[in-house]
């Protein structure tokens, strides 16, 4: 049985039978995907409240995001292989229950360590849940047209879900407590679990079922050590022995990962996948864009609530122009892609995104939302959409069938890892800039005013680094991405949209 053949009865002639419950199954899968997408944006809005309630310092607050994204990105490739060979329905069910349990733990968190651990567990179960849901669409919808419609629904859930999460996060934080931004996952997961039992059919792949556990552990541990090194830099400085030690540990672990992938017979990430020019370039772009963009979301949330004193709900609503512009531009860009090509479209997008971040480096303590902030968010959204619409094709076009699943998962993995590293780096840059500003201005301006002005100064410095990362993305696109007939086509692919985890 091939990897994409479901264990369902065949119609006469050996053609896979059409599952009569396939659209109901899509509804269940969509609920599971919605939960994963909601979790990212809901928590973003709730971060200031959670940080205050649990007395988390500025240097460590980024773990609220990075504990999730590192676990999710680090184990996503392994999660896909486990789902394929253990059973996609079984892993979907395990992922749902595990995600619900981790959300309950986070909602009940009494201290920072408990919250960080819960977020890491959410990421781990999300790494099982997401590829299982994606694979189930592929094997449930055997008709090409039906499959295209199903992936269209899946992509729409990803885009609209991010916007819903921003509003829901604001409502829950403002009118209940930040804890419900995690606890809300429990009823969603249980509903999806109850519906999946009778509706979703089991499917699995046959063949070699060996897993590259050492590769997954080394890569994830190396990334965690790297992020922890950024945290120590924020606390003790870049030249501190503890900071350097963690960076050395990270380097050793990540080099070890590369060595393992070169030597093992069943690598988690075959190096041939990333050594291809377009796929390697797409991976680098996904990392740098994820790093620059996630930093923007983190600091704008704190600026809205801490400097402009927006309520959590108003903060969530303030992001809606970004979500709307992203969706509209993605629709228009799909039609333009065959006419102007992936390289031109992505280069323009990278420059627009970098330009919007340069714009935000001029942020002031009383900047106008409609005149200054909203235009920057819209330009950022347009730029991101112009990059991400072709990105799936540039990453997957011409890939060997045996590497298709790995190449697809790598795209989401690299964006998650980029976001993790970006948040950690930029939070360290912000914390250092804030501390230096307070030290320099506390005597003349007073500690309260120096802290308020220093926060905005820190945001501006962090946005400058983000602009460099986004500018680097544009350079990588121009130098590495090549137009081919496949990656300039606007047709539906059999994989999830590259924008599945934006925000």
| Whole-angstrom distance, CA of residue 484 vs CA of residue 472 | 23
Q: What is the DSSP letter of 61?
A: T
Phi-psi label, residue 9: left if phi above 0, alpha if psi -120 to 50, beta otherwise: beta
User: Quick one: pLDDT at residue 500?
Assistant: 42
String of b and e for 275-292 (b: at least 16 CB within 10 Å)? Answer: ebebbbbbbbbbbbbbbb
Binned at pLDDT 50, 70 and 90, residue 486 comes out as: low
User: Quick one: pLDDT at residue 206?
Assistant: 67
Q: Tell how far CA 100 is from the center of its chain.
A: 19
**Stretch 68-80: mean pLDDT:** 83
Binned at pLDDT 50, 70 and 90, residue 159 comes out as: low
Angle at 125 between CA 124 and CA 128, to 5 degrees: 100
Whether the Cβ atoms of residue 380 and residue 487 lie closer than 8 Å to each other: no
User: Quick one: pLDDT at residue 323?
Assistant: 86
Residue 235 pLDDT > 90: no
Whether the Cβ atoms of residue 261 and residue 269 lie closer than 8 Å to each other: yes
Most confident of 85-89, 232-236, 474-478: 474-478
User: Quick one: pLDDT at residue 138?
Assistant: 73
User: Quick one: pLDDT at residue 297?
Assistant: 84
| Whole-angstrom distance, CA of residue 182 vs CA of residue 42 | 8
User: What is the overall mean pLDDT for the chain?
Assistant: 84
- Among the ranges given (141-145, 199-203, 420-424), the one the predictor scored with the smallest mean pLDDT: 141-145
**Stretch 157-167: mean pLDDT:** 76
Binned at pLDDT 50, 70 and 90, residue 190 comes out as: very high
Residue 304 pLDDT > 90: yes
**Stretch 26-51: mean pLDDT:** 86
Most confident of 38-47, 160-169, 186-195, 398-407: 186-195
Residue 401 pLDDT > 50: yes
Q: How far separated are the first and last CA of the chain, in Å rounded?
A: 38
| Whole-angstrom distance, CA of residue 395 vs CA of residue 414 | 11
Residue 209 pLDDT > 80: no
User: Quick one: pLDDT at residue 93?
Assistant: 94
- For 414, other C-beta atoms within 10 Å of its C-beta total 23
User: Quick one: pLDDT at residue 378?
Assistant: 95
Q: Is the dihedral of CA 104, 24, 30, 282 positive or negative?
A: positive
Which one has a higher pLDDT value, 274 or 181? Answer: 181
Residue 39 pLDDT > 70: yes
């Amino acid at each position: 049985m091939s990897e994409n053949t479901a264990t369902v009865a065949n119609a006469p002639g050996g053609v896979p039978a059409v599952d009569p419950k396939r659209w109901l199954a899509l509804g269940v899968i969509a609920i599971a995907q919605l939960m994963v997408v909601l979790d990212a944006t809901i928590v973003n809005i709730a971060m200031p409240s959670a940080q205050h309630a649990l007395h988390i310092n500025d240097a460590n607050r980024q773990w609220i995001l990075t504990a999730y994204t590192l676990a999710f990105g680090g184990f996503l490739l392994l999660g896909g292989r486990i789902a394929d060979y253990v059973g996609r329905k079984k892993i979907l069910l395990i992922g749902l229950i595990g995600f619900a349990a981790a959300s309950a733990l986070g909602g009940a968190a009494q201290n920072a360590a408990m919250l960080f651990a819960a977020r890491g567990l959410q990421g781990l179960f999300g790494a099982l849940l997401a590829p299982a849901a994606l694979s189930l669409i592929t094997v449930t919808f055997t008709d090409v047209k039906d499959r295209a419609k199903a992936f269209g629904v899946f992509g729409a859930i990803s885009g609209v879900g991010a916007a819903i999460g921003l509003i829901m996060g604001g409502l829950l934080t403002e009118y209940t407590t930040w804890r419900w931004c995690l606890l809300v996952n429990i009823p969603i997961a249980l509903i999806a679990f109850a519906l999946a039992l009778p509706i979703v059919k089991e499917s699995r792949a046959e063949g070699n079922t060996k897993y590259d556990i050492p590769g997954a552990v080394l890569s994830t541990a190396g990334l965690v050590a790297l992020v922890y090194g950024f945290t120590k830099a924020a606390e003790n400085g870049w030249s501190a022995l503890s900071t350097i030690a963690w960076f050395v540990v990270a380097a050793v672990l990540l080099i070890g990962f590369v060595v393992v992938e070169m030597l093992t017979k069943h690598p988690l990430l075959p190096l041939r996948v990333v050594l291809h020019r377009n796929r390697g370039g797409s991976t680098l772009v996904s990392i740098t864009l994820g790093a620059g963009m996630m930093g923007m979301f983190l600091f704008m949330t704190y600026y809205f609530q801490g400097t402009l004193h927006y309520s959590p709900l108003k903060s969530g609503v303030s992001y809606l122009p970004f979500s709307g512009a992203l969706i509209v531009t993605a629709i228009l860009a799909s039609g333009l892609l065959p006419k102007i090509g992936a390289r031109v479209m992505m280069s323009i997008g990278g420059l627009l995104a970098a330009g919007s971040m340069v714009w935000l480096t001029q942020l002031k303590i009383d900047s106008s939302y409609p005149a200054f902030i909203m235009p920057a968010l819209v330009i950022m959204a347009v730029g991101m959409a112009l990059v991400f619409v072709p990105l799936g094709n540039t990453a997957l076009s011409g890939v060997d069938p045996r590497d298709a699943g790995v190449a697809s998962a790598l795209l989401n993995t690299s964006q998650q890892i980029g976001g993790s590293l970006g948040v950690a780096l930029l939070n360290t840059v912000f914390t250092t800039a804030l501390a230096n500003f307070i030290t320099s201005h506390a005597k003349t301006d007073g500690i309260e005013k120096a802290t308020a002005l220093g926060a905005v100064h820190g945001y501006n410095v962090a946005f400058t680094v983000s602009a460099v990362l986004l500018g680097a993305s544009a350079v990588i696109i121009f130098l590495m991405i090549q137009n081919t007939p496949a990656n300039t086509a606007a047709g539906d692919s059999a994989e999830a949209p590259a924008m599945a985890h934006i925000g």
